[in-house]
């Protein structure tokens, strides 16, 4: 495994980095199936009396790091994304993240010696075209930019992020075992964990390194645990699938030029598993009771759903699932730390 490019742990200077950054990549949300939708009320009392009791709401079938983070950040945000499936507007930051990830992935198609910064930057226009084809909604981002000035600036920023990667890793010395790898594992409890790993490196000794690119800035050291949650989640999935504990987890922050690494041990992964099971219990309870609490933080500024959030004077859409009365003393929603 190539390990010579490890840098310092997160030393980001972004004052806002204390909290989780907004999503960096356009990601499909709310793909997990949910339970039965409540039927329309019948107009005759007899019909109501004869109607079978509504099936209990079934929680989504699986959990990804993004959705787990959503619930920890704000249970109501999770509901809006996963249960209500409310649409969200693409953002410049998330779309740039998607573009940069695509470029870094495609660069490994080239022979090792040709994986240079100019080559990587030359991939940007083609990958941007491809993104517009596969996600036409991103075109809206620059609909009010007829001269193309903002688009040009945005593309330059994407170039700078790609260029910075070459100061952090040397792709001519890397031969990834996997890129954009979809993984899914089922825990003994039945909960399925799934996600997409940006890059997997495997050393001749069999040691596994999991790498994730971030186009934002590294968090301040006191928030590094939160940033590592996603990586430990992936490590747990790999451990469950392959019975191998990844040797190293590596976050590459292109926004600030930092590399954050962590070498997990089995106890870390067992702790994450317990955390996810507790989280899953809380999600299941909220799904069944319809009790999804807003948890306002400074990240609300990035939330697309303020118009329907009670914290901002809005009213959520009618809950689409059957509900049962909440249990007293249930889990404190959204109060779980990431690890």
Interacting residue ranges for ligand SF4, rule: CB under 6 A: 74, 76-77, 294-296, 300, 303, 305-306, 309, 311-312
Q: Are 110 and 119 spatial neighbours (Cβ–Cβ below 8 Å)?
A: yes
To ligand SF4, the closest distance from the beta carbon of 17 in angstroms equals: 18
Q: Are 316 and 86 in contact (CB under 8 A)?
A: no
Q: Which is nearer to ligand SF4, 126 or 310 (CB)?
A: 310
DSSP character for 205? Answer: T
Both tokens of 176, joined, read 């990834």
Least distance to ligand SF4, CB of residue 299, Å: 6
Between 86 and 228, name the residue whose CB sits nearer to ligand SF4: 86
Residue nearer to ligand SF4 on the CB measure, 4 or 315:
315
Cβ closer to ligand SF4: 9 or 19?
19
Asked if residue 304 lies in contact with residue 89, where contact means CB atoms within 8 angstroms, the answer is yes
Which backbone phi and psi does 163 adopt, to 5 degrees? -60, -40
Q: How far is the CB of 8 from ligand SF4 (least distance, A)?
A: 32
* Closest CB 331 distance from ligand SF4, rounded Å: 17
Cα–Cα distance measured from residue 173 to residue 6, given in angstroms and rounded to the nearest whole number: 13
Can you list the pairs that 292-296 forms with residues at least 24 positions away whose Cβ atoms lie under 8 Å? Answer: 292/75, 292/76, 292/78, 292/79, 292/83, 292/316, 292/333, 293/75, 293/76, 293/333, 293/334, 294/74, 294/75, 294/76, 294/77, 295/73, 295/74, 295/75, 295/76, 295/333, 295/334, 295/335, 296/74
Nearer to ligand SF4, 117 or 299 (CB): 299
Q: How far is the CB of 309 from ligand SF4 (least distance, A)?
A: 3
Q: How far is the CB of 19 from ligand SF4 (least distance, A)?
A: 11
Q: Which is nearer to ligand SF4, 125 or 314 (CB)?
A: 314
CA distances from 292 to 71, 215, 271, 319 (A): 9, 31, 25, 10
Nearer to ligand SF4 among residue 22 and residue 90 (C-beta): 22
**Closest separation in Å from C-beta 228 to ligand SF4:** 22
């Amino acid at each position: 495994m190539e390990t010579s490019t490890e840098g310092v742990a997160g030393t980001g200077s972004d004052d806002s980095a204390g909290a989780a950054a907004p999503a960096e990549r356009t990601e499909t949300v709310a793909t997990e199936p949910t339970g039965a939708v409540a039927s329309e009320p019948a107009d005759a009392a007899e019909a109501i009396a004869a109607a079978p009791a509504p099936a209990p709401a079934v929680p989504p079938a699986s959990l990804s790091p993004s959705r787990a983070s959503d619930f920890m950040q704000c249970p109501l945000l999770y509901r809006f994304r996963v249960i209500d499936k409310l649409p969200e507007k693409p953002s410049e930051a998330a779309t740039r993240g998607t573009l940069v990830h695509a470029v870094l992935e495609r660069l490994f198609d080239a022979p090792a010696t040709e994986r240079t910064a100019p080559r990587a930057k030359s991939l940007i226009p083609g990958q941007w075209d491809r993104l517009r084809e596969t996600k036409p909604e991103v075109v809206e981002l620059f609909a009010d930019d007829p001269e193309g000035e903002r688009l040009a600036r945005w593309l330059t920023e994407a170039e700078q992020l790609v260029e910075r990667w070459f100061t952090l890793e040397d792709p001519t010395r890397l031969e990834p075992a996997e890129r954009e790898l979809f993984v899914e594992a089922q825990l003994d409890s039945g909960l399925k964990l799934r996600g997409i790993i940006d890059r997997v490196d495997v050393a001749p000794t069999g040691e596994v390194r999991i790498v994730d690119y971030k186009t934002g800035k590294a968090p301040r050291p006191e928030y590094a645990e939160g940033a590592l949650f996603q990586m430990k989640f992936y490590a747990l999935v790999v451990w469950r699938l392959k019975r191998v504990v990844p040797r190293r987890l590596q976050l590459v922050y292109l926004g600030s030029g930092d590399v954050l690494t962590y070498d997990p041990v089995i106890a870390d992964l067992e702790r994450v598993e317990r955390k996810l099971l507790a989280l899953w219990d809380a999600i299941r309870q909220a799904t069944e009771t319809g009790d999804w609490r807003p948890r306002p933080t400074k990240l609300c500024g990035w939330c697309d759903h303020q118009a329907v959030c009670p914290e901002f004077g809005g009213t959520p859409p009618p809950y689409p699932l059957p509900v049962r009365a909440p249990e007293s003393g249930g889990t404190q929603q959204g109060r779980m730390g990431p690890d």
